[in-house]
Structure 1
């Protein structure tokens, strides 16, 4: 979102060199599963053009299970889940908030407007679509089957641009990816997983990237156990043998004395 804001600022600085009306959307947006996300849409109007009436806003969605569903004005499918970020009809900010994002919300979102200006009269203008991609909470811990194996896993929208990597003190480690079975193809998400051996103590870090952009990360601090002194078992057999020696001698002396008396 920060990069998008910076880009928009630069755009406004040179807006006079562009067409009279433009609608802007970021190409890609990522959000955690179950969170709310703002789908940005901003329109610009050149200084030598004037709006006759406030624009009429439309938002359309093409997701995994929906083909061109209407989000704004709100359809039954999105009732209670969509709201305007700015309710001022004259505002140039036409972003909307999508609440409680689910896997099925992964897809493309299009912002378009019906506009009436003094020079160009009535016409429609659309953005370039925003691809919304979802990711779940990352798991980064020791394997339950092998306490010397560090395991990282994350569920993400199916897209080959998502990559998991494990680092130790800032250096990327060689890892082994897990194989996916055929059953995974029926799920609305893909599971990425990487594993590495605990070679030494330090700060291990798992990172999820989309292309070169860091999406989320998790840490694991490992401290090898201190070597302990060897503990030997008590020599009970030796103790017993030592006790038997004087008992045997005493018994022999007693037997000899009795034989002499007889």
Structure 2
């Protein structure tokens, strides 16, 4: 009888230990799931295009960076902004270095052969800038035969070639605009109106914009051609941040207005 009681007690004890082990394992599994990092949304820009994307205190910041971050969070993903040279940025996207390009890339027919674009997230114009003491250039017609500075591999580079064979390319707009102040270096710079005005104000450059914008660009987020699922998700997230006011808040911070409404 005593032996039977002993056997029963041991069986109860073993069942209890097994239950505890199962519970503990379950708790660890749940904890592991909760602590699992969200999937990264890696998006790229040149990092040389203030106020849209640039480095400040060793950190990538700017309008594009904040828009990309808001889109990632809307999709429930972890935002991870990175930089890549502009002239190779599409090739890098095609080789899976990142998920998207959020770097104020103009939507063009040529680029659409290589990538897909989301709905436009803002529109801006190609603007002519000259030094303040330059009165010989008042509009696009005056650019014929002049020396024009542009960012390499930009839509502005192709546009400048319509007016002159003397086109100088730069890695950043700020460097190009600063060269307007070096005698004999450049006659004009063609760049985005918002970028140019920001550079003038931030760097106190003695330059000015002349004439109306030569043309308007619609900027989109570039996604790999075969990634229709991500394209749909990013478009939905972009629409959401525009509707819930997040986009407007970011835009007001950099431009004092909602540039998606321009």
TM-score class, shorter-chain normalisation, is: under 0.3
Indicate the structure with greater helix content: 2
Question: Which TM-score applies when normalising by structure 2?
Answer: 0.19
Q: Which has the higher contact order (CA 8 A, sep 6+)?
A: 2
Q: Provide TM-score, normalisation by structure 1.
A: 0.19
Higher share of residues assigned strand: 1
